[in-house]
């Protein structure tokens, strides 16, 4: 079992028992797999997408102007908890503190109502709300893509390597710089690294001990299934960052010609997607994730295993707060499922978000049974980095046992 504690992108480990973002939208794929550019790179529409994203994270699907206005003016503190500060700011154009200070002024209330009405009419005009003021499927898809673009900009491909010191050759093959041995050909010499060593050692001529060579690293075909816990305890920032991280990992994996699947669970399986290389398909399903009900981790693991193909490295990542609450004996059923994953040669990674002392112990037991990896995440914003690092670590392994 490996446990990694993640805090502000710093990783401590203990053993216990890019590409340009534009390529995300312009790959040579079928029209079905292309994503619309105009919505994503227009500032006004970008704000609208963020507004919808915040709404989805707080399980808000209905944008009735009068109702939202009354919620704000009659009980602002309650509305602040219900909607979230970012949502209120994007909906009204005002800072929440400013709204609270001025709610007793009639002129301000009139302006506030107009701002809300205008913004909602703008959403309808852009087909992001239907005639009944409900969010459309198009709205959900655009919002998840737009909010993930910033993450993609931060996740450069050269930020992750298969091993420390690895590089890309001209042919796109991943290599690692190692010391020269007689087994290597002169064609494998890493010239720049070799010269740098010779200079640093004040050698007038390159000597045998200066020679560095490229050692080819075999890359696995990795299938990843991302399991997202969509139970009620994941509501808000947890589910929002889980969705973004899932999309970023899907982008990276598909770019490396690997497949990605998705399984969304509560006390039942809400949605499932077999591993695919269609980014648009993953985006479409991720955008529809909502939170509610309880957690059945055992069911999620059991249902995910058959989705994998044969003869691939099977990478099962579960993003959860690790509290199994559904089933006759939730913990025992989950541990049995973890054993099954191990038997089926599935690499199980638990990414624990907002774990308590109790749920940390539960998560440790799960990865102990599966011989997997546990990431203890302090800041949900680190999720995308964690998922990609785990993916690349598997990419360089020859097998899982």
In a domain? residue 27: no
Could you tell me if 247 and 363 lie in one domain? Answer: yes
Domain boundary among 198, 216, 234: 216
Q: How many domains does the chain have?
A: 3
| Cα dist from 80 to 58, 86, 90, whole Å | 11, 10, 13
- CB distance 267 to 326 below 8 Å: yes
Average pLDDT of the segment spanning 32-51: 54
Could you tell me if 182 and 146 lie in one domain? Answer: no
Average pLDDT of the segment spanning 35-63: 68
In a domain? residue 179: yes
Under the banding of pLDDT at 50, 70 and 90, the label for residue 74 is very high
- CB distance 262 to 282 below 8 Å: yes
Could you tell me if 225 and 198 lie in one domain? Answer: no
Average pLDDT of the segment spanning 143-165: 52
pTM: 0.62
The pLDDT value given to residue 224: 96
Range of the domain at 255: 2-19+219-395
Could you tell me if 265 and 331 lie in one domain? Answer: yes
CATH code of 250's domain: 3.40.50.410
pLDDT exceeds 60 at position 173 = no
- Whole-number percent of the chain with pLDDT over 70: 75
Could you tell me if 112 and 209 lie in one domain? Answer: no
Could you tell me if 185 and 270 lie in one domain? Answer: no
φ, ψ for residue 63, nearest 5 deg: -115, 65
Selection from 269, 182, 284, 166 nearest residue 217 by Cα: 166
Cα separation, 160 vs 166, in Å, equals 9
Could you tell me if 336 and 383 lie in one domain? Answer: yes
Rg of the chain over Cα atoms, rounded to whole angstroms, equals: 24
pLDDT exceeds 70 at position 366 = yes
The pLDDT value given to residue 255: 85
Under the banding of pLDDT at 50, 70 and 90, the label for residue 109 is very high
The two beta strands, 2-7 and 166-168, are unpaired
Average pLDDT of the segment spanning 153-182: 47
Could you tell me if 198 and 239 lie in one domain? Answer: no
Domain boundary among 120, 151, 182: 151
The pLDDT value given to residue 18: 37
Mean pLDDT of the chain: 79
In a domain? residue 197: yes
Average pLDDT of the segment spanning 122-131: 91
- Whole-number percent of the chain with pLDDT over 90: 40
Could you tell me if 330 and 356 lie in one domain? Answer: yes
| Cα dist from 111 to 72, 102, 107, 117, 295, whole Å | 13, 11, 6, 10, 43
In a domain? residue 381: yes
Under the banding of pLDDT at 50, 70 and 90, the label for residue 343 is very high
Half-sphere exposure at residue 397, Cβ-oriented, CA atoms within 13 angstroms: 15
Which residue would you say has higher pLDDT here, 335 or 389?
335
Domain boundary among 192, 216, 240: 216
The pLDDT value given to residue 240: 85
In a domain? residue 159: no
In a domain? residue 98: yes
Cα separation, 286 vs 120, in Å, equals 24
The two beta strands, 269-276 and 259-265, are antiparallel
Say which range, 21-35, 58-72, 82-96, has the weakest mean pLDDT. Answer: 21-35
Could you tell me if 291 and 186 lie in one domain? Answer: no
- CB neighbour class for 66 (10 Å; exposed up to 12, middle 13-18, buried from 19): exposed
pLDDT digits (tens, 9 = 90+) for 221-261: 899 999 999 998 898 888 888 988 998 899 889 888 899 99
The pLDDT value given to residue 55: 87
In a domain? residue 400: no
Say which range, 17-21, 279-283, 397-401, has the weakest mean pLDDT. Answer: 17-21
The residues, any chain, with a CB within 8 Å of residue 329's CB and separated by 6 or more, are none
Cα separation, 92 vs 114, in Å, equals 9
In a domain? residue 25: no
pLDDT digits (tens, 9 = 90+) for 162-172: 333 344 443 33
Could you tell me if 197 and 63 lie in one domain? Answer: no
Under the banding of pLDDT at 50, 70 and 90, the label for residue 198 is confident
Say which range, 4-8, 87-91, 208-212, 363-367, has the weakest mean pLDDT. Answer: 4-8
Could you tell me if 245 and 372 lie in one domain? Answer: yes
73: left (phi over 0), alpha (psi -120 to 50) or beta: alpha
């Amino acid at each position: 079992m490996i446990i990694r504690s993640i805090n502000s992108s710093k990783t401590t480990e203990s053993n216990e028992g890019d590409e340009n973002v534009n390529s995300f939208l312009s790959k040579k794929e079928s029209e079905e797999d292309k994503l619309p550019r105009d919505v994503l790179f227009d500032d006004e529409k970008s704000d609208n997408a963020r507004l919808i994203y915040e709404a989805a994270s707080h399980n808000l699907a209905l944008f009735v102007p009068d109702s939202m206005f009354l919620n704000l003016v009659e009980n602002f503190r309650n509305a602040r908890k219900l909607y979230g500060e970012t949502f209120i700011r994007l909906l009204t154009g005002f800072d929440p503190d400013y709204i609270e200070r001025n709610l007793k002024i009639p002129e301000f209330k009139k302006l506030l109502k107009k701002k809300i009405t205008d913004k909602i009419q703008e959403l309808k005009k852009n087909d992001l709300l239907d005639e009944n003021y409900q969010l459309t499927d198009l709205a959900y898809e655009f919002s998840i893509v737009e909010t993930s673009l910033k993450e993609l900009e931060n996740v450069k491909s050269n930020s992750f390597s298969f091993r420390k010191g690895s590089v890309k050759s001209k042919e796109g093959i991943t290599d690692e710089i190692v010391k020269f041995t007689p087994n290597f050909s002169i064609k494998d010499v890493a010239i720049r690294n070799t010269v740098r060593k010779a200079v640093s050692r004040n050698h007038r001529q390159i000597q045998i001990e200066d020679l560095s060579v490229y050692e080819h690293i075999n890359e696995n075909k990795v299938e990843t299934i991302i399991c997202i816990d969509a139970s009620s305890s994941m509501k808000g920032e947890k589910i929002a960052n889980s969705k973004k991280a899932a999309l970023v990992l899907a982008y990276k994996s598909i770019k490396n010609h690997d497949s990605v699947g998705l399984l969304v669970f509560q006390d039942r399986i809400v949605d499932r997607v077999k591993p695919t290389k269609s980014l648009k398909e993953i985006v479409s399903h991720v955008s529809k994730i909502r939170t509610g009900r309880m957690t059945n981790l055992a069911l999620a693991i059991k249902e995910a295993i058959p989705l994998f193909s044969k003869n691939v490295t099977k990478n099962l990542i579960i993003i959860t707060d690790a509290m199994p609450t559904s089933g006759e004996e939730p913990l025992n059923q989950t541990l049995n499922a973890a054993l099954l994953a191990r038997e089926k040669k599935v690499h199980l990674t638990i990414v624990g978000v907002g774990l308590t002392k109790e749920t940390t112990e539960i998560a440790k037991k799960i990865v102990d049974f599966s011989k997997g990896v546990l990431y203890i995440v302090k800041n949900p914003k680190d999720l995308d980095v964690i998922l990609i690092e785990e993916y690349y670590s598997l990419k360089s392994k020859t097998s899982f046992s």
